[in-house]
Structure 1
């Protein structure tokens, strides 16, 4: 009898040990997501940890963000921000998974393509009471409004434009092109001199050129009606996209650019053919001005609006760092306060300075002279957003395959069908 009870006791002990091991190992094998904790700093006061999820860009971007978060922690010793950067290609999946598991961070960057859905699901807290919102440019402010409230706020604008070798143009008695007709004439001129006129830094600037042509009508007319028509008029979006892709196909067919310059994405560095002064034009992002400034070329250069149509050139903008607050955050007030501090004019200036980014605020004149023509285009109302919140279809995200098809020799119609 005693031996039987001993066996039962050993069995209970074994089961207990196994259960403890399962609980212990679950911490290693099961993701719990970021969770807030309060802990005592040097035994003095409680500290709130705010978890922050963002895009992992280059080292300049990371350094600027770390500087701002360090300043925040210094001024708010009772709070600590835990930042995690995810590569843009993986970001949407990671964010969606965390929101689904209810383990999303307190503050996160939200791509415009996902913002509309998350706002409708009630996942984005309204950003009320943030003083800096009054200082935003009206067109940027409208891009951040969803479900009747501001649901996210960007600390910067990325801009795509046409970088011009000003010395090369001046030597030939040519001016910076103001529309597609002038751009084509200059490209033809250099091609006759056996100079390939256009270099480009990865696929994204080519996508921007397509979007510039696609959205250009919104600059001269009723923008709201234009975007409504793209979605409601049967075939309108596909036809407009085909026409814009056809302009890209014309650049390829006429030998104005080298399709081999695409490397599956932008590695952050401008192409050597431009930095060596071999080509008069480069399609690139505003951040390329920073790379050019580090190793200044032997010629004068500046970035101008992209030739979009026979009538005008436009700047293509993106909300590069759109900050949102998790509506289910355990520290909602503190998270909104953090976004408010990061979007203050002085912090936006710190963040955008030296990164080749434009300020989303009124009067945010760029310090880099090479970017001032782009900013002037924005000031004059000649700008479009590549992921305009008024268009539900994710054109920008779906253009990669279409652009690659055109560069490989495909027809614009096929490329448009692939992208829609």
Structure 2
């Protein structure tokens, strides 16, 4: 199944989006509703809350007095933390039970107000943030919910700032105008990205790619996108990950590139690479069929043209192309990928030379149906550059990073 984390600041419009996702066919799990359910009368959750905060947070009929509890916790960060420590594990367990009932091709949307605050980003295929300025959200809370300005500000202060939420987002939907405007954004996201993503996941195949190589200007968002994906990879494979690296052209600031992220997962062995293939596929990175190899150099033995095995996975997400190279930690191929990246970062002349070569090559292959011929045509450049790279490594004392 495709798992989507939906979040946003209080009064940003999560409920509006959740309703639309449900209409479109998603399985929607509402964390706020689950938070109410786990502290309903007679539940262990309510007993734990009463034990922590005392009988003053209980109504006369034994149910939770939410306004009384809110007045306590939103005025004291430590008490809010204590409440979250009780409620959040119960909500996660209830949400997991609901997800198990969804089919393999389903889109599951979990509406979680504190998704980023609780560090859950890596457990979703995508994080969608609905965004609205603080002033707009304050006005909504005062006019629609009857809160005072002070109470509204206290609720917003108890959450992360807008920039922190946006930094965790794969998709940001702006909800500053009429409801129809943000709902139109939801519909486009659903049909163009989420439905194909879910279909690819269920089939265990990467998103299809087509068209010639297109070199674009460097995007300052590439490193943050790579970091989010690396977090999901680590979450998926656990201790099998000895390192997850952002490599390739998008990892070099200022370098024009194809808008495809290259990531490297370093593992103990090829057997370990094969052992995590299902976990990677489940996280959104199915393995490409067949055996795949690197052409490398041992940086000392002079055996240019040697070949080292790797496993190649690609993104099932049609909205974010990714090449995930799974290599043995310390192998020549893994070392080469990191050294080449750092060389380009350090040497402006080499970086510009490589960019010029890529642009020319892309122009030569601008009528191609795929990027395969472009990729093959780059290999002689790499082979010719290897002695120069090896000399740079020796002169600078470059060493591959350790486990991450």
Query: Do these two structures clear the TM 0.5 threshold for a shared fold by scoring above it?
Result: no
- TM-score normalised to the size of structure 1? 0.26
- TM-score normalised to the size of structure 2? 0.26
